[in-house]
Structure 1
Amino acid sequence: MIERRRFSRIIYQAPATLTQGDYQLVTCIQDLSLKGLLLWAVDEPELDKNDIVDVTFTLPDSDITINLSATLIMQNERILHLKIDHIDIESIGHLRRLVELNVGSDELLHRELEHLVDLADYAE
Structure 2
Amino acid sequence: MKDKRRFTRTPFDGEAHLTAQGTLFNVEVLDLALKGVLITMPPGVTMTPGETCQLDLLLEDSDIRIPLAAEVRRVERDMAGLEFTRIDLDALRHLRRLLALHLGQDEMLSPDEEEE
Alignment partner, residue 12 of structure 2:
12
2:28 corresponds to 1:28:
yes
Distance 1:7 1:54, change over 3 A: farther
SS at match of 2:44: coil
1:7 is displaced (CA, Å) by 7.0
Alignment partner, residue 38 of structure 1:
38
Alignment partner, residue 85 of structure 2:
85
Q: Distance in 2 between matches of 1:7 and 1:71?
A: 23
- Dislocated runs of 4+, deviation >6 Å: none
- Structure 2 alignment gaps of length 5 or more: 110-116
Q: Which amino acid is the alignment partner of residue 79 of structure 1?
A: M
Q: What does 1:87-102 correspond to in 2, within 5 Å?
A: 87-102=87-102
Determine what percentage of the aligned residue pairs are the same residue. 32
TM-score, normalisation: structure 2: 0.78
TM-score, normalisation: structure 1: 0.74
Query: Which stretch shows the higher mean deviation, 38-47 or 85-94?
Result: 38-47
Deviations 1:93-122 (Å, cap 9, x if unpaired)? 11111111112235689xxxxxxxxxxxxx
Alignment partner, residue 122 of structure 1:
none
RMSD: 2.6
CA contact (8 A) 1:7 1:33 kept: no
Alignment partner, residue 113 of structure 2:
none
Q: Distance in 2 between matches of 1:78 and 1:53?
A: 17
Q: Distance in 1 between matches of 2:7 and 2:108?
A: 9
- Structure 1 alignment gaps of length 5 or more: 110-124
